[in-house]
Amino acid sequence: MKRFLIIFIAVLFLSPVLAHAKQYKIDLGIATTPNTFHYKAAEKFKNIVEKKSDGNIKVVIHRY
């Protein structure tokens, strides 16, 4: 019972720390139109980064 109580208290106090993940943002500038290979590669990069980071990294593509 003591072990359970200690684990419960530890989880209770650590859960806000573990649940708060830092968010990052990448601004990606590209000087091509959306129908080019370069733009499609930038979109693929965006999808992979956001998926692998579980949404903690957001990529915003800016067209110039």
Question: Does any domain span residue 11?
Answer: no
Give the count of alpha carbons within 13 A of 37, CB side only.
0
What is the model's pTM? 0.65
Give the number of domains in the chain: 1
User: Is the per-residue pLDDT at 11 higher than 80?
Assistant: no
Q: How many helices and strands in the chain, by DSSP H and E?
A: 2, 2
pLDDT of residue 12: 55
User: Is the per-residue pLDDT at 15 higher than 60?
Assistant: no
Q: Which domain holds residue 34?
A: 21-64
Averaged over 8-29, what is the pLDDT? 70
Question: Does any domain span residue 4?
Answer: no
Classify burial at 42, counting beta carbons within 10 Å of its beta carbon; exposed 0-12, middle 13-18, buried 19 or more: buried
Which pLDDT band holds residue 22 (cuts at 50, 70, 90)?
Answer: confident
Question: Does any domain span residue 6?
Answer: no
